[in-house]
Amino acid sequence: MRQANKLIAILLAAIMVLALCACGAQTTAATTPAPTASASAVKLAILYEQDDSMKNTYSLLAVNPKAPFKDADGNAVSNVSINTAGAAALINWLLSKEGEDMAASYGKDKYGENLFSLLDGAPVSTAAIPAATDATRNIRMSTTTSVNDSGLLDYLLPKFEQEYGYTVDVYSAGTGKAIANAENGNADLIFVHSKKQEEAFVSDGYSYVLDGFKAERLSYLYNFFVLCGPSDDPAGVKNAASVKDAFKLISDGKYQFVSRGDGSGTHNKEVTLWPEALGITTDAASVANYADWYNYSNAGMGTCLMMANEKGAYILSDKATFLTFVANGGIIDS
Amino acid sequence: MNTALHEAMLMIFSGNRLLGSIIGVTVRMSLASSLTALLLGVPLGVWLGSGRFAARKTLVVLNRTFMGTPPVVCGLLCYLLFSGVGPLRMLKLLYTVRGMVIAQILLITPIVAGMMESCVSSVAPAVRETAGGMGLSGGKTLLLIMNESRYQIISTYLMGLSRALAEVGAVSMVGGAIAYKTNVMTTAIMNYTNMGNFTTSLALGIILFFISLAVNIAVSLLQGRLAI
Amino acid sequence: MRTDAFTKTYDGRRVLSMPEFEFDEKSVYAVIGANGSGKSTLARILSGTIQPDCGKYPASGGLSIGYMPQKSFAFGMTVKKNLLLNGVGAGSGQRADELLRKIQLEELAGKNAHGLSGGETQRMALCRLMMRDYQLLILDEPTASMDVEASLLAEALIREYQNKTGCIVILITHSLPQAARAADNLIFLHAGAPAEWGRLKAMMDAPRSDAFREYLDFCLKR
């Protein structure tokens, strides 16, 4: 009996070693696993898009080293180290012709359409970008899960890192948490898409105007939110005149709807689209009476899409995450 | 389920670089934190278990309380300390592997100490009585006490390693799950699940499970030897 | 060795009360009495394991003491290594072999001590103690788990040890026959105090106290 135990242990150890060795092998495999053809398992479809009120604008903001940082007790803190040179280098590159061209073309290969577009009048930078030094090498970017999940940064950043020798640490969380992270001195720049919260960030003094630019908020990309739902579209939103009409159809018919419920940019946009009479805000209390059809989930975009898929519910999503979700065959058929 | 499992096995044996980085960071962090917790916790536990000073019982109760610290609370504490506005910000430990290791050491050391304490305190009085009867020195008596607990040390270490591998609350707060830097298996499983990317999640889960299984089999084999 | 008078109290109950005593060298003192009469307490106080009420060790003279508690601990190593723990000097290995041979444990010399039976553990513990020359040897029921054959071997070993080292031996036992075989002097404890003491033969032939007489009657079924 003891020998059998020893044999099992050796066998498992061997499998483990094999697995670890296999993972150590450097191949040119893609950084994320190739999508599988289980798209048929996704029952959601894009039902409404390209309405101006569904425009989602992405902005870069550099963190101000002299911002009024406060510690957990609310006391002022000085000597908060911010890598201003690194942040400036990254922002200048993202807003350079090269960076903007790359961003605007992202998604063509994978999904057949670009996921982001350049804003008219977006700032363009021609500044020379210094190479990284030991002191400026590590750049901390705070961004949202939506941006991260779209894969844009995985596409852009390696080019920047290779060319100039920086390393960019991307911290991604819901918009509120991402901004709070920067307010705690843990980021050198933020890349978010929530105008109201960005303006508060600026007016509180946490951002500043970089050399060569005119404003703290550097908005340069946009895409659209899309209203998704079950392909048979019981609420008939496809034929609505505007997105607000579409939302009215959903709320009138009390069709299942999944909300982000996490104070993110998506969530903030979503609550502006409901009929005013319902009084829906980002606060959970405001939707207490609608719990039978309005699902206030407090989760990331991917999780909410899964939930909507399960329930056959309507959901507001950013296009990039939705396309990624579909491509990865989001749901497992059990 | 089947397709995902199949994809997972393919991925494991194809040498995926991202997967390799996640596993590498996990192993580095878990080994560092469990070994350090062992080095700190064993002497602490032996001291608590065999010491004869007035505050002993109080300290044991205190240690038992720390054993039960919710990992996310420890993570929050470390985040507040290491944050850009925190008192220890000059150490630059936030979002680094070293910071995660420190948070885990804070969690695992009390557990190691507690397990050693209970083992030692059960043998220490009898060993003392017999060794004292022979007139052996205090140092030699302590060595004998530790010798009686030596199998416990090994299984305690493996328990600590298990905890380090499976922990997610503290490491996600202190490490921030930054790709290629502080993303470990548990945080990666959470992230990929949230994105809807079940394939990678399952693959990581399977590897984590096998590592845990190997650890636990080793522990039980060792404890089998102990029961002579 | 001369001991001062002392008492020991637990939770308000007086468990032992000893008068001044004089122990002679080269003598074996058997301490007998019913369970709870204070025998083990006496052993633990004289070995220094616990303190009497006055807080001072009752004997002077700085004797080296070897004490075998009622439950001897077998350390997690081979039997021979257990003995060598208490070895001094170059001849330890030989001394250990000899002791194990005399107690008939030599076949188990390489076995892990955790696997020994109760009687084997006690035999090992006795030999382990005898690896060193003490001036005072206190044995608390050293043969309680042994069979008759092993007990006789142990008693012979104790006598031999005493002849070699000239030490005082205090032997706690609940077996009157063993006391009769192995000891020169007898101390009879009754309810925490010595009811009678003296040379063994004299006491057995002519018990003076009622308590001891009753005890003798009970043990020997007279």
Q: What is the DSSP string of A69-130?
A: -B-TTS-B-------HHHHHHHHHHHTSHHHHHHHHHTTHHHHSS-S-EEPTT--------P
Residues 188-207 of B with CB under 8 A from A: 193-200, 207
Nearest residue to C119 (alpha-carbon basis) of C72, C180, C68? C72
Q: Provide the number of structural domains found in chain C.
A: 1
Examine residue C104 and state whether it is found in any structural domain, yes or no.
no
Is domain A39-53+224-327 given the CATH code 3.20.20.10 in the classification?
Answer: no
Chains that touch A (3 or more CB pairs under 8 A): B
CA distances C128 to A209, B43, C70, C79, C109, Å, are 83, 29, 14, 9, 12
CA distances B163 to A128, A205, B169, B173, C95, Å, are 49, 42, 12, 17, 49
List residues of chain C with CB under 8 Å from any CB of chain B: 47-49, 64-69, 71-73, 75-77, 85-86, 112, 114-115, 125, 128-129, 132, 134, 138
β-pairing, C21-22 vs A117-118, is: unpaired
Query: What pLDDT sits at residue A3?
Result: 63
Examine residue B152 and state whether it is found in any structural domain, yes or no.
yes
With touching defined as 3+ CB pairs under 8 A, do chains B and C touch? yes
At residue A145 the predicted structure's pLDDT band, cuts being 50, 70 and 90, is confident
Q: Which of B17, B27, B94 sits opposite A186 (nearest CB)?
A: B94
Average pLDDT score over residue span C26-30: 90
Q: Does B148 touch chain C (CB under 8 A)?
A: yes
* A36 contacts in chain B (CB < 8 Å): 3, 7, 199
Token readout for A209 is 């105007």
Examine residue C109 and state whether it is found in any structural domain, yes or no.
no
Is domain A60-221 given the CATH code 2.60.40 in the classification?
Answer: no
CA of B90 vs chain A CAs: smallest distance (Å): 8
Fold: same for A39-53+224-327 and A60-221: yes
β-pairing, A117-118 vs A218-230, is: antiparallel
CB count within 10 Å of CB B7 equals 20
For A229, residues 6+ apart whose C-beta sits below 8 A from its C-beta are A44, A45, A47, A235, A237, A255, A308, A312, A313, A314, A315
Examine residue C108 and state whether it is found in any structural domain, yes or no.
no
Q: Is it the case that residue A332 has pLDDT exceeding 60?
A: no
At residue A206 the predicted structure's pLDDT band, cuts being 50, 70 and 90, is very high
Q: Which of B1, B196, B214 sits opposite A16 (nearest CB)?
A: B214
Chain B residue with Cα closest to C138: B133
Query: What pLDDT sits at residue C160?
Result: 93
Q: Per mean pLDDT, which range of A146-150, A222-226, B133-137 is the poorest?
A: A146-150
With touching defined as 3+ CB pairs under 8 A, do chains C and A touch? no
Place of tokens 């706690």: C172
Residue B78, domain CATH: 1.10.3720.10
Q: Does B224 touch chain C (CB under 8 A)?
A: no
Q: Per mean pLDDT, which range of A123-137, B204-218, C101-115 is the poorest?
A: B204-218
Query: What pLDDT sits at residue A37?
Result: 37
Please give the residue that has the higher pLDDT: either B55 or A110: B55
Q: Is it the case that residue C109 has pLDDT exceeding 60?
A: yes
Examine residue B206 and state whether it is found in any structural domain, yes or no.
no
Q: Which helix (H) or strand (E) holds B99?
A: helix B97-134
pLDDT digits (tens, 9 = 90+) for B100-129: 999 999 999 999 999 999 999 999 999 999
Q: Does A9 touch chain B (CB under 8 A)?
A: yes
Q: Which of B129, B135, B147 sits opposite C76 (nearest CB)?
A: B147
Examine residue C114 and state whether it is found in any structural domain, yes or no.
no
Query: What pLDDT sits at residue B131?
Result: 94
Name the residue range of residue B108's domain: 23-184
Query: What pLDDT sits at residue B4?
Result: 62
Nearest residue to A62 (alpha-carbon basis) of A187, A212, A221? A187
Query: What pLDDT sits at residue A311?
Result: 86
Strand partners, C140: C172
Examine residue B47 and state whether it is found in any structural domain, yes or no.
yes
- A238 DSSP assignment: G
CA pair distance C69, C78, nearest whole angstrom = 20
Q: What is the largest CA-CA distance in chain C?
A: 53
CA of B102 vs chain A CAs: smallest distance (Å): 18
Q: Per mean pLDDT, which range of A18-27, C26-35, C205-214 is the poorest?
A: A18-27
pLDDT digits (tens, 9 = 90+) for A266-296: 888 899 889 998 888 888 888 888 888 999 9
What is the Cβ-side half-sphere exposure of residue A203, based on CA atoms within 13 angstroms? 6
CB–CB of A27 and B178 under 8 A?
no
Sequence ranges of the domains in chain A: 39-53+224-327, 60-221
Name the residue range of residue C150's domain: 2-73+134-220
Nearest residue to C3 (alpha-carbon basis) of C12, C15, C16? C16
Place of tokens 């893609």: A30
CA pair distance A98, A96, nearest whole angstrom = 5
Q: Which helix (H) or strand (E) holds B200?
A: helix B198-226
β-pairing, C6-10 vs C2-3, is: unpaired
Tell how far CA A331 is from the center of its chain: 20
Average pLDDT score over residue span B78-103: 91
Q: Provide the number of structural domains found in chain B.
A: 1
Tell how far CA A193 is from the center of its chain: 9
Q: Is it the case that residue A28 has pLDDT exceeding 70?
A: no
Indicate which of B10, B26, B28, B197 best probes the interface with A, i.e. most A CBs within 10 Å of its own CB: B197
Q: Is it the case that residue A166 has pLDDT exceeding 80?
A: yes
Token readout for A67 is 């911002």
pLDDT digits (tens, 9 = 90+) for C63-81: 899 999 999 999 999 999 9
Examine residue B83 and state whether it is found in any structural domain, yes or no.
yes
CA pair distance B152, A231, nearest whole angstrom = 60
CB count within 10 Å of CB B139 equals 8
Q: Which of C72, C112, C125 sits opposite B228 (nearest CB)?
A: C112
CB–CB of C129 and B133 under 8 A?
yes
Q: Is it the case that residue C173 has pLDDT exceeding 70?
A: yes
Tell me which long-range contacts C97-100 makes (C-beta under 8 A, separation of at least 24). Answer: C99/C127, C99/C130, C99/C131, C99/C157, C100/C127
Estimate the share of chain B in helix, then strand, then coil, as percent rounded to the nearest 5: 80, 0, 20
CA pair distance B208, B23, nearest whole angstrom = 9
At residue A5 the predicted structure's pLDDT band, cuts being 50, 70 and 90, is low
Q: Does A204 touch chain B (CB under 8 A)?
A: no
Examine residue C94 and state whether it is found in any structural domain, yes or no.
no
